[in-house]
């Protein structure tokens, strides 16, 4: 797991600078995955696989919660989902998704209601890219 997993670039967020993940189309950061793999150096416990499977399940649950929170609308629940997904995404190397979650969380916290729908749309689109990358990575193992 020394090379980044890439897919064609997805939607771009309009706020902030352009991080390397956006510029290169990297979906899962190789360094983050390597750090995760170091926790199970022999691979005997299949830690990376187990973490990625758990991450996919958690992300699906959180995205369902986000969809419900958008319909209601429930900004507090939207912010909680963004916060939760932000850290778990960073831990598996989904850095752009983590960044989008942070931007959405900030906009929700600051009451930037005009910015929130577009940020959440970008978050959901990037989550789909991340899920596809994780599925491919699991299939390649």
Q: What is the pLDDT of residue 140?
A: 85
| Residues 104 and 86 sit within 8 Å (Cβ to Cβ) | no
Whole-model pTM: value is: 0.81
Alpha-carbon distance 137 to 37, whole Å?
13
Mean per-residue pLDDT over the chain, rounded: 85
| 68: confidence class by pLDDT, cuts 50, 70, 90 | very high
Q: Which residues contact 128 (CB under 8 A, 6 or more apart)?
A: 10
Neighbours of 12 (CB within 10 A): 11
pLDDT at 9: 39
Please name each of the domains of the chain with its CATH number: 26-140 (1.20.120)
């Amino acid at each position: 797991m020394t090379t980044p997993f890439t897919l064609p670039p997805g939607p771009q967020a309009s706020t902030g600078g352009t991080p390397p993940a956006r510029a290169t189309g990297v979906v899962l950061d190789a360094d983050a995955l390597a750090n995760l793999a170091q926790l199970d150096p022999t691979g005997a416990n299949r830690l990376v696989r187990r973490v990625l499977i758990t991450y996919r399940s958690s992300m699906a649950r959180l995205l369902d919660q986000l969809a419900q929170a958008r319909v209601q609308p429930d900004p507090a629940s939207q912010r909680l989902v963004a916060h939760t997904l932000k850290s778990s995404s960073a831990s598996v190397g989904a850095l752009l998704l983590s960044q989008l979650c942070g931007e959405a969380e900030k906009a929700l916290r600051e009451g930037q209601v005009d910015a929130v729908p577009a940020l959440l749309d970008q978050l959901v689109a990037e989550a789909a890219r991340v899920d596809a990358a994780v599925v491919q990575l699991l299939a390649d193992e």
